[in-house]
Amino acid sequence: MKWTDKTNMTMLTDFYELTMGKAYLDGGHEDTIAYFDLFFRSVPEQGGYAICAGLELAIDYLQNLRFSAEDIRYLRMLQTFDERFLEYLADFRFNCDVWAVPEGTVVFPGEPLIKVRGPIIQAQMVETMLLATINHQSLIATKASRIVRAAGDRKVFEFGARRAQGYDAAVLGARAAYIAGAAGTSCTIAGQQFGAPVFGTMAHSWIQLFDTEYEAFASYATSFPDDTVLLVDTYNVLESGVPNAIRVQNDILTPLGKRLKGIRIDSGDLAYLSQRSRLLLDKAGMNDCKITASNALDEYLIRDLLLQGAQIDFFGVGERLITSRAEPVFGGVYKLSGIEKDGHILPKMKISENVGKVTNPCNKEILRFYNIETNKAMADVLIVSGESDPEGEPYEIFDPIQTWKRKTLEGYRVRRLLVPVFINGKCVYDRPTLAQIRQYCKEEQETLWDSLKRFENPQSYYVDLSQKLWQIRNDFLHRHTRG
C-alpha cells in the first residue's frame, strides 16, 4: 500500500479551486486547455540551490484522483454548488498531461518543477495537493543536503519524527532527507514504506529504569550483542557513561567475541566530550567504537564542531532538519502560463509591482548547460516549447531584467530537465527506486561548483530566458502596463 493510498486525497484542495471550477463550468470554459507551472521564487535560507523532491507521491495522488460519493454528499450539504457541477465532479477523471523534473534534481528559482496541461478545471483542481507535496519534500531535501554537506564524509541520520509537524511530515520528511544524502532514519514506518535504512539506539528512560547505569548497559548488550550502541550522557559522560561502556565491552561483549559498535552523546559540549571519549575508548583498545552525537544539530553546528576537532563519526539530526527550522517554508507557487485557443497558445502572466512576483508565460522547457570538460552546470535557460537545442555553437545568455548583463557559453552540452510523466491522464513515467533517486541526487549535487554550495553568500546561478521567450514576456508586459 502506497502512503497516499491511506486516504482519499482528492478533497485536499483549497475551496476556491472548487468555486472556480463551478464558475468555469457555468461560463462554458470546461474544455479550455490551460498550462500551469509549479515553481518557487527563492532558495530557503538564501542558499545557492534547492533539491526537488515529492514527485513519487504526486504521481500516486494524480493516479487516484476521484471524488467519492461521500465527497459529493459533503459538497451538496454546503449548498454552494448546483447539481450540474456535482455531477461533473462525480464523473471527474484526470486526463491532463504532466511534465516534471525528476526527483533529486538540483533546481533554481523561477524554473517549472512541474508543468500541467489540460482542461482548466482539472489543471486548477490539483494545485493545492501538488504544492503541499512538492513544497514540503523539496524543503526537507534541501535542508538535508546542507546538513549532509556540512558533515563531509561522516554519516548523518534523520532523528526528527517526534518533533515533526504531524505524522505525514515525519514519514515524508524522512524520505526526502534520505534522497538528499541522509544515511538513514529513526522513523520505522519510513523504512517500511520506502525502504530507507532505519537506525536507533536507546532513550534515557532505559538507563533510568535500572538501579545503575552499568546494569542498563549490560542488559542492552545482552539483548543486542551484534549491534550495541550505548547512550552515555544520562548521568556523566566521562566519569560514568564511557567507563561503563568500556566495562560492558570487557565483561559482556568480549567473552561473546563481539565488539561495542558505538556510543551516543546527546548533551553537553559535544566537541570536548567527543574528544575526551575518544581518548578513553582508544586507551581501552576500542579504536573501532564509533561516536554518534545528537542534540539540536544543524549544518552550522556540525561545521563548527568539526572545525573544533570533534571526534564524531555519525550525526543524529532531528528537529532542525525535519522542520527546516531556520526557514520552514519552501514557497512554491502554481501559476497559469498559457491557454490554447484556435490552435495557438496564448501567453498568460501575473504582473506585479514586486518584480519577484512577475511570472513567465508560455509552454516552456528548461535547458541546462554543462561544461564538457568539468561536467559542471554552467547555466539554465527557459525556452518556449518547440525551440530547438543549441548544437554546440557559442550561445549568448542574458539577465532577463538587467539585459545588458550577458555571457557567451562555449564548450557545453545541453540537457532538457522536464520529462513526461502523464499523457492524457496516463502515467508514462518509469518510476525509479528510492535508492536510484538518492544516487541521482548525489550525482546532481556533484555538478555544482563549490561556490554555489556556500552556506553564506553563495554564488548566484544563471537562470535566463531565451530571446524568443523574453520577447513574448516583454511584449505582454508592454501591452498590459500601458495606461
DSSP percent split of the chain into helix, strand, coil, nearest 5: 40, 20, 40
User: Domain 3-140+328-481 classified CATH 3.20.140.10?
Assistant: yes
User: By three-state DSSP, how is residue 360 classified?
Assistant: coil
Residues contacting 406, CB < 8 A, separation 6+: 396, 397, 398, 399
pLDDT recorded at residue 343:
86
Percentage of residues of the chain with pLDDT beyond 70 = 98
User: Is the pLDDT assigned to residue 201 strictly greater than 80?
Assistant: yes
Q: What's the pLDDT tens digit per position in 87-118? A: 999 999 999 999 999 999 999 999 999 999 99
Average pLDDT over residues 447-475: 97
Confidence of residue 3 (pLDDT cuts 50, 70, 90): low
Q: Which residues of 19-39 are buried (b: 16+ CB within 10 A; e: fewer)?
A: ebbbebbeeebeebbbbbbbb
Instruction: Yes or no: say if 170 and 330 are a contact pair by the CB < 8 Å rule.
Output: no
Confidence of residue 5 (pLDDT cuts 50, 70, 90): low
Paired residues of 9 in beta bridges: none
Instruction: Yes or no: say if 322 and 164 are a contact pair by the CB < 8 Å rule.
Output: yes
pLDDT recorded at residue 52:
98
Average pLDDT over residues 435-446: 98
Confidence of residue 481 (pLDDT cuts 50, 70, 90): confident
Length of the chain: 483
Separation between Cα atoms, residue 22 and residue 25, nearest integer Å: 5
Residue 462 C-alpha cell reads as: 544563471
Average pLDDT over residues 411-431: 98
Separation between Cα atoms, residue 183 and residue 316, nearest integer Å: 10
Identify the weakest region by mean pLDDT among 1-5, 222-226, 393-397, 428-432.
Answer: 1-5
Residue 274 C-alpha cell reads as: 567527543
For the chain, give the mean pLDDT.
Answer: 96
Instruction: Yes or no: say if 98 and 110 are a contact pair by the CB < 8 Å rule.
Output: no
pLDDT recorded at residue 1:
47
Residue 187 C-alpha cell reads as: 522513523
pLDDT recorded at residue 279:
98
Residue 195 φ/ψ, nearest 5 degrees = 85, 15
Instruction: Yes or no: say if 412 and 378 are a contact pair by the CB < 8 Å rule.
Output: yes
Average pLDDT over residues 5-22: 88
pLDDT recorded at residue 156:
98
Q: What's the pLDDT tens digit per position in 277-286? A: 999 999 999 9
Q: What's the pLDDT tens digit per position in 135-165? A: 999 999 999 999 999 999 999 999 999 999 9
Angle between helices 127-151 and 434-446 (to 10 degrees): 60
Average pLDDT over residues 393-422: 96
pLDDT recorded at residue 9:
87
pLDDT recorded at residue 7:
63
Confidence of residue 355 (pLDDT cuts 50, 70, 90): confident
Q: In a 10 Å sphere around its CB, with 0-12 CB exposed, 13-18 middle and 19+ buried, how is residue 257 labelled?
A: exposed
* Cell 526527483 sits on residue: 103
User: Is the pLDDT assigned to residue 184 strictly greater than 70?
Assistant: yes
Residue 384 φ/ψ, nearest 5 degrees = -75, 135
Residue 87 C-alpha cell reads as: 455531477
pLDDT recorded at residue 2:
62
* Cell 449548498 sits on residue: 79
Percentage of residues of the chain with pLDDT beyond 90 = 95
User: Is the pLDDT assigned to residue 412 strictly greater than 50?
Assistant: yes
| Domain boundaries along the sequence of the chain | 3-140+328-481, 142-322
Average pLDDT over residues 387-398: 95
User: Is the pLDDT assigned to residue 483 strictly greater than 70?
Assistant: no
pLDDT recorded at residue 353:
86
Q: What's the pLDDT tens digit per position in 30-77? A: 999 999 999 999 999 999 999 999 999 999 999 999 999 999 999 999
User: By three-state DSSP, how is residue 61 classified?
Assistant: helix
Q: What is the CATH class of 142-322?
A: alpha beta
Taking Cα atoms as reference points, which of 219, 137, 216, 129 lies closest to residue 176? 137
* Cell 548523518 sits on residue: 156
Q: What's the pLDDT tens digit per position in 226-278? A: 999 999 999 999 999 999 999 999 999 999 999 999 999 999 999 999 999 99
